[in-house]
Structure 1
Amino acid sequence: MESELIFCKSKVFVHPTKSAIDNVAGFLIISKETGKPKQDSTLAWLPERALTSEQSQWFYDAELDLEKVKRKAPSILSSTRSSCQFSLKLSGLYSIEFRLPSPNGWWYGSVVFHSRSFYEDNTLPVLFFHDDICASTELKRKELNKSFDPFASSGEVYWGGVDLRNNIRELVDLQRTLVDSSVWLVNASLDDLRNFSPQKLIKDRDSSKGSYSDDLNGAVWNTWESAKWGVMSRIADATSKTGSYMGQLIRRHPLVKIAERNSDNPYVKKLLANPRVQEVQDDFDSARVYLAKWGLGVKQEAENYQRNHKETDIYRKLLTSELGIDGENDVKFTDEELNRALERNYSLTRQKWDSFFDVQGRLMLTVQEVKDHIFHGGIKDMGLRREVWMFLFGVYFWDSSADERLQLDQTLREAYEKGYKERWVTREAHADVKEEEYWHDQVFRIDKDVKRNDRHIDIYQYNTSDGKKGTSTTAESGDSGGFDEGSNNWVLENPHLIALRNILVSYNCHNSDLGYVQGMCDLLSPIYYVVRDEALSFWCFVNFMERMERNFLRDQSGIRDQMVTLSELCQLMLPKLSEHLNKCDSSNLFFCFRMLLVWFKREFEFQDVCSIWECFLTDFYSSQFQLFFMLAILQKNADPIIQNLDQFDQVLKYFNDMHGTMDWEDLMTRAELLFVRFAKLMNITSREASETLKSSQGMTSSSGVGIHENAGDENSAEDYGENLPTNSKYLKLLLSKNVVIQKEAPRQEDSVK
């Protein structure tokens, strides 16, 4: 089978003895057989003495100009295969040690390969990079010296091992460990990564030293920055409390008291209706909202600083304190549960994703393991996201092969073009006048929403034939190709907006009972942006709407069920906030409606929305995890709301102004911890209910002791209050990973649209 040479480095030595005269020079190469996946590339070391002079010269040439000699690669590699001192697949490596050379030249840099087979570990020699006589390394050093930059892209001093590492990173997932910065894991599992995690290191270090103060990488923290944010957090707290205190003082003013006592008096009503009086009141309300948001913003920046600077213990304690999971009367978390929620460091890369599949393109991991990667690490870039989303949206089956997915692509494209798009493109006017009016109204609504869709996003911004900035013949705003927000009379030219329109009209044919409802374009926009294929985006959207249709039902029963669930969840998990919102006439959580309707599409930046959605789509903990994300937003904002806001309009304004102000990663961590706490609490309640039933029937547990005696740190659900909705059918449903599906009833002539 033909092979392609990917990497070559000369003057890589084996030192069999302490005597330099025994050193053996060789070539370190990486090659890949045609048609094989990248992770199955072969790493080999060839001793120079086993090669002919012609073969050696070929490798020297390849080292300096790989493209120039690629045509000869198959023949030369096959002829030298028997000369290999050792060779193994990259996928067969467990870890690689990159030992830096001495700055003063006393020793060479070296690499140590650890295979997944213990037996092979005993046979793999340590390889030393003699950079002083290696042509490619010397050439690279000269280039770096010309630019006055002796460092490689990683920031470390350049040596030959850097080239090897950079090439391997293009082929497999390579992750640096925190236990030893010289050790890199190859295609590490999440368990491997978690074993080398910052939280585990801190825990281990604490158990031996009783201190969290050292930096994981040995750097000295900028104590001024840390102290500054600590002070700012305290100022924010004080300001929030001051705002609440000032509100109380204002309401104690005699004139205010008179107005409140005589609110039914027509003269007082007339006074309060005066525009100037209302303006003062509005300014006061705005100031309260501003104070609440400012205080929250400062605290959030403090948390960001702590996370970004690896002050994981401070952030950990902050979360456990704010989430109420550190008290004596609450459930306890295991270190593993806390660590897992805090570890969002290992993004899914192309190399890691490819390592999940075998030669036929079939998944080698369990689906839950893959979803664990996605939920806790996210997806590295948009190119990879396109492929992963095809699985998350259910277009590709998790057990399919690469060939089956190619065939499925073709089948789905034909089904879209012939089955749905052609149906309306060639549509003739309906004989029923009312039905024809309904159809045109649907198309008008779609056009209207598409034309104002995500205009700040690059591919949707300009109404030109190529979607790029230029002159449009129909755009209202002149030669920029931009859009006139106040007009809906221009013709779509942007190919991406046209694709959105085509998909939504086709979906109208697919699900004529539901039709088009405002907000659907919000859901489709990120899908098309990522997939960039009209037909495949259509099928992603169809599958997405299976779970999202309940948000758009005519009787609003689906979204109402979610609001009821969220209200009960807030009452159970955030009782103080729930009580305060009730006093603000906001217990129905109406201000959360838009966020849940389109999955926070309008509250976060576009890239963040993609990251949030893919976490939800894993159904890793619950098929309704969006409610715990919403609960995390409520929890995060609880103190500013309680301390500053006491009116429905204030709360509504506060949440309506949230776009671009929230940290989605922090909220996802909080949401995960809130779910784990919720699941533990529901488990306690279930056990206590079972025990009560047994007692009422004269039965005892098999151990002969009551549930309270066995509960340990997990105290009674009664500690949370007497009237909590723990038996609610809505809350119990949150523990399920099965997607909740509610379909629209058949459309009638008098259906309200």
Structure 2
Amino acid sequence: MWRDPGQPADSYYQVRPECTDVPKSKFKIKAGKTLSSRKWQAAFTPEGYLDISKTLGRIYRGGIHPSIRGEVWEFLLSCYDPKSTFDERDQIRQRRRVQYARWKEECRQIFPVVGSGKFITAPVITEDGQPIQEPLVILETNQDGGPSQDGNSAEIGNSDASATNQSRTNTSYSEMVKQLTSHGPLDKKVTQWMLTLHQIGLDVHRTDRTLVFYEKQENLSKLWDILAVYAWIDTDVGYCQGMSDLCSPMIVLLEDEADAFWCFERLMRRLRGNFRCTERSVGVETQLSNLAEITQVIDPKLHQHLDALGGGDYLFAFRMLMVLFRREFSFCDSLYLWEMMWALEYDPDLFSVYEEPELNGEKGEGSKGRAKSIRQYGKFERENMKNGAANSEGPLPMSVFLVASVLKDKSSKLLHEARGLDDVVKILNDMTGNLDAKKACSGAMKLHKKYLKKAKKA
């Protein structure tokens, strides 16, 4: 029987020609399997209600066509309720765009580089809130030219015009410094936020730089602006390294900056616990201990071996959980992995949970039936419901089972070749670009089912 070999999806995310060592995508667009634009449009009623159950199955079987990925992700990440109309979603979209513009303007008033099409990679204030007259910042905040492609500011020559530009730059930066200190010492929130701005810039400069997309200064600054605004509104978490890896695909997929911001904000609702740090622990440690528990149940021999090597805390898996396998897969394959995972984990109640503070009381009782068919939940979520999987923290996320699946797949190699933690890290690093997203997902589902059964018996 003839089978469609599939069309490579790499062409949608063009790689810079000089980057020759970038892993090739294994994801192929397959007719009849991949969610196409035609199938996606057909899933809506004339009013705009979406049949999410059919859509979830198709995404898991073959991913999403890159041309519609952004708009489908908005549903998978619970930006919108499938049981809403086109008009209702337009209203929500406009309201959110206005809200983002307000927050961005708040940030711009404090630090005018926000929204200027530029970004900074050097500190602007000291720990105690004193402005730093840093030459690199002076160059980067030049209103006549921002950072160049290599991350440094545009070169200034010896001509009179250059001297004039330098003078303007110094004036511009001096005015910014004056504004910062004109009302006395900076408050704690402003200080904390401004201390993160250069770190965001450094990370933005390193994020997905193999993509032609990020050769454009405007795309880099868009990523910086979104992360800066997020750090401003989420005072609990602020900004942490790794968030740029999670936000970058949103910029690539969604043209409107505000829409990309809200997609990222919804993703952070799921993952912010990973980034929350206290004096004693990092948030992701909870998931690492869950991973240890799962491996102990599923593959006790492997757990025992890792523990004997001093890896019982599973810190070697830290990066995989923090940035959801962004480093282990090609750019295209990591997107494919994410959408399969979100389709499997899909919970139709999350939209209401996220929107509740804003929408309480706005809709009359009974305006929408809240009773949902189990088909509207993702397969992973259905397994949790069927088996009553819940602890004090709620069901374990699928990402933990994905890591467990990868470890299980490499179990033999780890048992026979790892003689120390360095070997464990090397074996896992050697997987980069060689993993199969679909296989990892199906492996995670099998482990999840097995784990729930064993946990129920225990």
TM range (shorter): 0.5 to 0.7
Deviations 1:575-607 (A, max 9, x none): 121122122222221110111011111110001
Does 1:383 pair with 2:136?
no
Cα separation, 1, equivalents of 2:225 and 2:108: 9
Match of 1:17 in 2: none
Displacement of 1:387 after TM fit?
A: 1.2
Contact kept? 2:341, 2:441, Cα under 8 Å: no
1:217–1:457: structure 2 CA closer, same or farther, 3 Å change rule?
closer
Amino acid corresponding to residue 251 of structure 2 in structure 1: Y
Contact kept? 2:193, 2:238, Cα under 8 Å: no
Of 304, 321, 324, 1:596 maps to 321
Does 1:587 pair with 2:312?
yes
Does 1:447 pair with 2:201?
yes
User: Which structure is richer in relative contact order (CA contacts within 8 A, separation 6 or more)?
Assistant: 2
Cα separation, 1, equivalents of 2:61 and 2:451: 19
Match of 1:314 in 2: none
Contact kept? 1:344, 1:377, Cα under 8 Å: no
Deviations 1:261-301 (A, max 9, x none): xxxxxxxxxxxxxxxxxxxxxxxxxxxxxxxxxxxxxxxxx
Listed as ranges, the matches of 1:309-708 within 5 Å are: 346-363=33-50, 365=51, 367-379=52-64, 381-418=65-102, 420-427=103-110, 429=180, 431-433=184-186, 435=188, 437-460=191-214, 462=215, 467=216, 494-555=217-278, 556-618=281-343, 619=345, 620=378, 621-622=380-381, 624-683=397-456, 685=457
Q: Identify unmatched segments of 5+ residues in structure 1.
A: 1-215, 219-303, 309-342, 468-493, 686-725, 727-753
Amino acid corresponding to residue 400 of structure 2 in structure 1: L
Cα separation, 2, equivalents of 1:390 and 1:458: 24
Q: Helix, strand or coil: the match of 1:591? A: helix
Cα separation, 1, equivalents of 2:224 and 2:277: 22
Contact kept? 2:34, 2:58, Cα under 8 Å: yes
Match of 2:350 in 1: none
Displacement of 1:557 after TM fit?
A: 4.7
Amino acid corresponding to residue 63 of structure 2 in structure 1: G
Displacement of 1:425 after TM fit?
A: 0.6
Contact kept? 1:390, 1:540, Cα under 8 Å: yes
Contact kept? 1:522, 1:598, Cα under 8 Å: yes
Cα separation, 2, equivalents of 1:566 and 1:453: 27
Cα separation, 2, equivalents of 1:408 and 1:439: 28
Q: Identify unmatched segments of 5+ residues in structure 2.
A: 4-25, 111-178, 346-377, 382-395
Cα separation, 1, equivalents of 2:187 and 2:233: 20
Cα separation, 2, equivalents of 1:540 and 1:522: 14
Amino acid corresponding to residue 74 of structure 2 in structure 1: M
Amino acid corresponding to residue 42 of structure 2 in structure 1: S
Cα separation, 1, equivalents of 2:398 and 2:193: 35
Deviations 1:65-90 (A, max 9, x none): xxxxxxxxxxxxxxxxxxxxxxxxxx
Contact kept? 1:409, 1:536, Cα under 8 Å: yes
Contact kept? 2:193, 2:232, Cα under 8 Å: no
Contact kept? 1:591, 1:656, Cα under 8 Å: no
Cα separation, 1, equivalents of 2:71 and 2:248: 17
Match of 2:149 in 1: none
Amino acid corresponding to residue 185 of structure 2 in structure 1: D
Listed as ranges, the matches of 1:150-189 within 5 Å are: none
Contact kept? 1:599, 1:626, Cα under 8 Å: yes
Deviations 1:1-49 (A, max 9, x none): xxxxxxxxxxxxxxxxxxxxxxxxxxxxxxxxxxxxxxxxxxxxxxxxx
Cα separation, 1, equivalents of 2:267 and 2:444: 22
Amino acid corresponding to residue 457 of structure 1 in structure 2: L
Cα separation, 1, equivalents of 2:249 and 2:335: 7
1:505–1:601: structure 2 CA closer, same or farther, 3 Å change rule?
same
Amino acid corresponding to residue 94 of structure 2 in structure 1: Q
Cα separation, 2, equivalents of 1:437 and 1:633: 41
Displacement of 1:408 after TM fit?
A: 2.2
Displacement of 1:411 after TM fit?
A: 1.7
Larger radius of gyration: 1
Match of 1:147 in 2: none
Amino acid corresponding to residue 554 of structure 1 in structure 2: C
- Runs (4+) of structure 1 moved beyond 4 Å? none
Amino acid corresponding to residue 409 of structure 1 in structure 2: R
1:356–1:536: structure 2 CA closer, same or farther, 3 Å change rule?
same
1:559–1:344: structure 2 CA closer, same or farther, 3 Å change rule?
farther
Q: Percent identity, please.
A: 31
Contact kept? 2:277, 2:283, Cα under 8 Å: no
Listed as ranges, the matches of 1:96-107 within 5 Å are: none
Amino acid corresponding to residue 383 of structure 1 in structure 2: S
Contact kept? 1:605, 1:660, Cα under 8 Å: yes
Cα separation, 1, equivalents of 2:293 and 2:424: 19
Amino acid corresponding to residue 394 of structure 1 in structure 2: S
Displacement of 1:437 after TM fit?
A: 4.4
Contact kept? 2:297, 2:454, Cα under 8 Å: no
Amino acid corresponding to residue 429 of structure 1 in structure 2: L
1:531–1:666: structure 2 CA closer, same or farther, 3 Å change rule?
same
Listed as ranges, the matches of 1:167-316 within 5 Å are: 216=1
Cα separation, 1, equivalents of 2:61 and 2:291: 24
Contact kept? 1:583, 1:646, Cα under 8 Å: no
Displacement of 1:433 after TM fit?
A: 4.4
Contact kept? 1:631, 1:671, Cα under 8 Å: yes
Amino acid corresponding to residue 340 of structure 2 in structure 1: C
Contact kept? 1:519, 1:597, Cα under 8 Å: yes
Q: Which has the higher strand share?
A: 1
Displacement of 1:392 after TM fit?
A: 1.3
Contact kept? 1:632, 1:671, Cα under 8 Å: yes
Displacement of 1:502 after TM fit?
A: 0.8
Cα separation, 2, equivalents of 1:571 and 1:516: 33
Match of 1:81 in 2: none
Deviations 1:107-135 (A, max 9, x none): xxxxxxxxxxxxxxxxxxxxxxxxxxxxx
Displacement of 1:524 after TM fit?
A: 0.3
Cα separation, 1, equivalents of 2:2 and 2:265: 47
Match of 2:348 in 1: none
Amino acid corresponding to residue 354 of structure 1 in structure 2: Q
Amino acid corresponding to residue 580 of structure 1 in structure 2: H
- Aligned-residue Cα RMSD (Å) equals 2.3
